[in-house]
A and B are shown apart, each in its own frame.
Chain A
Amino acid sequence: MDALRRPSPSQTTEHWWTLPSREEIYLIAIKYRRILFGLLVALLFVFVQGRLNTMDQRLFQPSTDGVRGLIHYERGNYSNAALAYRSDLRRGGWRKWRNGDEAYNALLQGNLAEAARLADLQLTKQPDDVEAWLTRGEVALEDGDLRRASDSFEQAAALDDKHFDALLLSAVAHSRSGNINQAINRMRQALRYDYAGQRITAFLWGLQTAGELRQDSPDGLRWCLLAHYYRYLRIFDPSNAPWAKEAAMKAINAGSRIDDAYITLGILEEKTGDDEAALPYFLKAIEANPRNPEAYRRAANIYRHRGSDLLNEYTMWKGAYTASPSDELYRDRFGAFLSQRFGDYPQALELARQALNEEPRNTDLLGRVANLYQRLGQHEEAIRFYRDILALQPRNPGVLDAIGYSLIYLERYDDAVASYQNALAINGNRPESHSGLGAVYARQRRYTDSIREYETALQIGSDDINIRAFLCNQYWATNRYRDADTCLKHVLRLDPYNKSALQIYPYVTKSLEHGEHER
């Protein structure tokens, strides 16, 4: 009977263009329901595993307090979560986070009096100890002394304006004392670097403050600050991104620091990998506040990722620098862009010299100015600035090498040899000094010496393919065709488009063939 009811193959044969009917789809679903159910379970498992994998380990602590903290965290109750995690720290979790700083270790254990005493002791010995200032500030925060805490964090930030924990904790102190604008400034400053601090206690203060801000029915400005806190927490758990987005949207709707809120929205898009979706937000931030350098910087980065949108990238870097000309970050990035991507050495030099006027003993700036003079072909000037570095760092072989390089251009070969030899007297194992000597000797037609120096540079670890190519040239110049051939093959294997090697290889091959022929 069953066989009779079953349709024959000829009955089911349809034209190839016929789409499957709804009944057919239902039939497939019923027949393969177990497979479909299995797929559903697998998808659920993958989703849960994906969610847990993206969360930072610090949110999973193997203790009752740790689990309590995680539950509060997952329910969105961040202030209670922070309290539970802090309790976990004090009941043994501190061991995982301790370091060589005794004051901080005491703070982790909850021994506030001891932490304050040790931090004060450290500061008596070393007043510029940033970590000690932070520990003292955190103790004051625990005691509810916001003014003292704020002063300590400001002191730490003044000592190192790139210290993430100092900036974050300063933002926390300002948030708690109601100085919201200043708190946003600090968060903005902290989040512009690509790292997120070392101190677990700073993270917990950030978590707690975010939770408290949310509970206190925030106004527009606080929504903007909250957006920054969620942006920070997103680093440890991407599920904070929608919250950051919501907070930023509310700040925009309330008209509070719209530019910073737009930057947050842009960064959230950027973190998903969609640079092009992020760009309009940064441009809106610029439109809302043309004096916001961070908006320009973020937009410049997007243009940089495009690869060759140099026109827009230049406009943005210039905007960032113009908006905040005294800020080292924007000035340095603009300078680097001008010299590395534009080859606009005169403009880059102008910037570097301005910076040097403010910090005339900054060796990095001196080096940059000297290097730019080298690139402009003004080697006398370059040497003058390198000599200024030598006055501050007399035993810097890198600077002696750089001077040697300029002396070669000035065709003062004996002086160049002396400079490289001085560098080698300080450190005999620098491949750069040996290869520099090799270059001078080659120009002096002292080929044997040149070969010796290039070979030494390669033996002591230089992996610069150009040095090997120069060596091949010297082999060729001294009619060592067999060595030149082996050397060139090595270069071309590593760099098939090496210009120098490609240029002489045919001559070497011909010379070898000719030699064979004559033999």
Chain B
Amino acid sequence: MNARARVRHKLKRFWGQLTFQYGIAAAACGWAIWMQYQYRLQGSLIFLALPVIGIVLLVLNVLMIVNQFASSLPQWDPVRCLLKRMEVSAGLLVRLFVYSSLLWYANGMLDNKPPVYRSAEIDSEGWKNTASLAPYSWVTLRYRDNPEATTMVLITWEERRTLWGAQPVSVTLKNGLLGIPAITAIEQDWGWFGNEILKLAPTATMIAQRKIDFDLTHDRWGEGIDAARRYLELNPKVWETAILAGDLLFQASRYHDSLPFLEYAMKQRPTYENMQRYGLSLNWASQSPRASEVFKASIPLDPNNWQAYYHLGYVYGDMGQYEEAIGYFEETLKRQPSSLEAKAMIAKHRQDIATRDSQTRSKPTKVSSFNTR
């Protein structure tokens, strides 16, 4: 047998030794680790168990490779005896790890409520000392609303790249179906960082926008609105920041809060797009008459554009003026003939008119009822 054939034979034999049982166990461990990272538990006890689990996984891998050589060893061989003992221990711990991970994953995933954001400070970083021993990292957090206690949390590789310890962070939490809180993200607290930087460089546009974006996507409405106002006072020409704040508030259904920003941007730069934004927000903030004025004012800026007509269709529909609404949707169709939505709205409003008319006919007026009496 030449060398190549011998190597091929060895590899074939090695492959044959990778049993279904080992394969399933390794895959289940990988899956369990993934689940642990999706909904991370906080606390200290889990961190005592995790290094053991890591070592067990490592041992399992070694076993898979070494076991093929061990099968040709006699029963009394010390290596074979050792491998046997390790295999049994590994099997038990793997089961425990996989089942518990599945339970915690279900706890996080089945909770449909929106996440909660908590401000915290990283007290210490656990990746430096353990990186060479176990393939995971953690941080010790101190929540701002409970500064007395600390808690340990796993961090992902992505987070490890962007966090460096001893810094303010925002923690995204899900309360969990079983009431066990699980962490889904730890990120740099740009609300805090933005404040500190803007004290030193108040004209830093990117920082201001990043801070506003962070605050308004992490339920910090007051801070975000204040930051946007302060920035616009200092840099009145940067109307894009007003658009950013207005859009984010609109997306968060805070229509009334979005109005001053979108109005500011529209006044600074009265473009067709900015007027559509402002008009839309006015309509959602139940100020339909004012919205209709804004949309109508935008039409001469781009008469061939269908958007203003489309929005006006909805505005008049919301005000119950179905005939006008139909007229605007028809104008939309002239500019956007393929709009199925406009066609559907025209049909709907025709139905609304019919319903309204039939109700008017069937409902007796005050005068006629008085006469009847």
Contacts and interface: CB of A to CB of B under 8 A. Distances in A.
Given A314-B197, A515-B338, A14 B85 contact: yes
Contacts of B167: 309
Contacts of A17: 85, 89
Interface string A7-35: 11101111111101000100110010000
Nearest to B89: A16
B188 interface: yes
- Candidate in A9, A343, A515 with the most chain B CB atoms within 10 angstroms: A343
Interface in B26-45: none
A310 B76 contact: no
A385 interface: no
Interface stretch (B56-64, B199-207, B245-253, B322-330): B199-207
B85 A308 contact: no
A345 interface: yes
Binding site of A, secondary structure by majority: helix, strand, loop or mixed?
helix
Given A17-B89, A511-B338, A343 B204 contact: yes
Contact of B209 (A310, A338, A343): A343
Nearest to B77: A31
A6 B74 CA distance: 11
A496 B139 CA distance: 34
Given A307-B161, A308-B162, A511-B338, 13 more contacts: A7-B76, A27-B78, A31-B79, A276-B128, A309-B164, A309-B167, A314-B201, A343-B207, A344-B207, A347-B204, A507-B336, A507-B338, A510-B339
Contacts of A513: 338
Interface string B67-92: 00000000111110110111011000
A16 B82 contact: no
Contacts of B204: 338, 342-344, 347
A346 B197 contact: no
Nearest to B88: A16
B79 A9 contact: no
Interface in A452-496: none
B196 interface: yes
Given A309-B164, A342-B201, A18 B196 contact: no
A273 B106 CA distance: 40
Interface string B210-241: 00000000000000000000000000010000
Interface in B166-210: 167, 188, 193, 196-197, 200-201, 203-207, 209
Nearest to B75: A9
Contact of B78 (A9, A28, A347, A507): A28
B196 to A, nearest CB: 5
Contact of A16 (B85, B161, B207, B340): B85
B82 A20 contact: yes
Contacts, number: 93
A313 B68 CA distance: 54
A345 B78 contact: no
Nearest to A275: B164
Interface residues of B, number: 35
B81 A14 contact: yes
Contact of B205 (A18, A345, A511): A345
A11 B200 CA distance: 76
Contacts of A12: 75-76, 78, 81
Nearest to B87: A16
Interface residues of A, number: 42
B193 A311 contact: yes
A439 B76 CA distance: 82
A510 B76 contact: no
B122 to A, nearest CB: 13
Nearest to B85: A16
Contacts of A311: 193, 196-197, 200
A344 B205 contact: yes
B164 A306 contact: yes
Contacts of B82: 20, 24
Interface of B: 75-79, 81-82, 84-86, 88-89, 128, 161-162, 164, 167, 188, 193, 196-197, 200-201, 203-207, 209, 237, 336-340
Contacts of A75: none
A309 B166 CA distance: 12
A156 B308 CA distance: 68
Given A12-B81, A27-B78, A347 B201 contact: yes
Nearest to A306: B164
Contacts of B206: 341-344
A8 B76 contact: yes
23 contacts: A6-B76, A9-B76, A11-B76, A14-B85, A16-B89, A17-B85, A18-B85, A27-B78, A31-B77, A31-B78, A276-B128, A310-B193, A311-B193, A311-B196, A338-B201, A342-B205, A343-B209, A344-B206, A507-B336, A507-B338, A510-B338, A513-B338, A514-B340
B239 to A, nearest CB: 9
Binding site of B, secondary structure by majority: helix, strand, loop or mixed?
helix
Given A12-B75, A276-B164, A345-B205, A510 B340 contact: yes
Contacts of B209: 343
Contacts of B162: 306-308
Contacts of A7: 76
Nearest 10 CB-CB pairs, A to B? A343-B206, A343-B205, A514-B338, A9-B75, A16-B88, A342-B204, A344-B204, A511-B338, A16-B85, A346-B203
A178 interface: no
Contacts of A343: 204-207, 209
A314 B75 contact: no
B338 A28 contact: no
Interface string A329-357: 00000000010011111110000000000
A377 interface: yes
A299 to B, nearest CB: 13
Contacts of A376: 237
A235 B371 CA distance: 107
Interface in A32-53: none
Nearest to A350: B203
A6 B78 CA distance: 12
Contact of B207 (A15, A342, A346): A342
A507 B305 CA distance: 14
A513 B207 CA distance: 44
Contacts of A345: 203, 205
A31 to B, nearest CB: 8
A377 B268 CA distance: 13
Contacts of A347: 201, 203-204
A28 B85 contact: no
Interface in A260-306: 276, 306
A24 B77 CA distance: 10
A12 B73 CA distance: 14
Given A18-B85, A311-B193, A511-B338, A24 B203 contact: no
A299 B89 CA distance: 48
B200 to A, nearest CB: 7
B201 A344 contact: yes
Nearest to B207: A342
A514 B340 CA distance: 8
